[in-house]
Amino acid sequence: MTKPADTSMNINEILDHLPHRYPFVLIDRVISLELNKEITVLKNVTVNEPFFPGHFPYLPVMPGVLIVEAMAQAAAVLSFKTMGIKPTQDSVYYFAGIDKARFKKPVSPGDQLILNVKIDRILKGIWKYNGVATVDGEVVAEASMMCILKNINKDQ
């Protein structure tokens, strides 16, 4: 019998499975998560985000690289949950590559960004994902990403 999918995670559970902290936590809630398969998360985009005063003062737009970073954070939560571990100070989850990134519409204050990230494959410790970001059902960005969990040697 297949184990049912975990359905949601609040911000406290996210912080248990994500090494990032303010001001760089870019996901607010896990809507659904299916181990070894996919995750859907929500990011409420608010006018008081630390990047808006500089990007751009006259027309606030969420930087595309931060949308991809939010996808990667969703991927990290999915990976840690799938591996059954939590991040520690002895490891870090790095980007290994970003391909096919496309930005189709601007994301502005007041938008609710829905990010869906699917595991494409896992090979030799490198996880490959496909991510899609939508606002009101319209695709605003998409990318393929690769990430890897690395141990940190603090003596180097």
The answer to whether residue 147 sits within a structural domain is yes
Q: What is the pLDDT of residue 151?
A: 86
Read off the pLDDT of each residue in 105-130 and give the average, rounded to a whole number. Answer: 97
Peptide bond between residue 57 and the one before it cis (omega within 30 degrees of 0): no
Read off the pLDDT of each residue in 80-93 and give the average, rounded to a whole number. Answer: 92
Q: Which helix H or strand E contains 73, and what residues bound it?
A: helix 64-83
The answer to whether residue 92 sits within a structural domain is yes
Peptide bond between residue 95 and the one before it cis (omega within 30 degrees of 0): no
CATH of the domain at 39: 3.10.129.10
The answer to whether residue 91 sits within a structural domain is yes
Cα–Cα distance, 100 to 18 (Å, whole number): 25
CB-based contact 26:41 (threshold 8 Å) = no
Percent of the chain with pLDDT over 90: 83
Q: Is the pLDDT of residue 6 over 70?
A: no
Which candidate in 55, 82, 118, 149 is catalytic?
55
The answer to whether residue 5 sits within a structural domain is no
Q: Could you tell me which residues are beta bridge partners of residue 131?
A: 117, 143
Q: Is the pLDDT of residue 79 over 90?
A: yes
Cα–Cα distance, 99 to 149 (Å, whole number): 19
| Domains: count for the chain | 1
Q: Residue 135 in 3-state DSSP?
A: strand
The answer to whether residue 1 sits within a structural domain is no
Q: What is the pLDDT of residue 91?
A: 86
The answer to whether residue 156 sits within a structural domain is no
Q: What is the dihedral of CA 117, 51, 58, 102, to 10 degrees?
A: -30
CB-based contact 119:127 (threshold 8 Å) = yes
The answer to whether residue 114 sits within a structural domain is yes
Mean pLDDT, the chain, rounded, equals: 93
Written as six digits, the tokens of 104 are 């189709």
Write out the E strands in the chain.
29-34, 38-44, 91-103, 112-123, 126-135, 138-151
Domain that holds residue 20: 11-151
Read off the pLDDT of each residue in 26-39 and give the average, rounded to a whole number. Answer: 97
| Active-site annotation holds for 55 | yes
Q: What is the pLDDT of residue 5?
A: 53
The answer to whether residue 6 sits within a structural domain is no
Give the pLDDT band of residue 134 (cuts 50, 70, 90). Answer: very high
Q: What is the pTM of this model?
A: 0.92
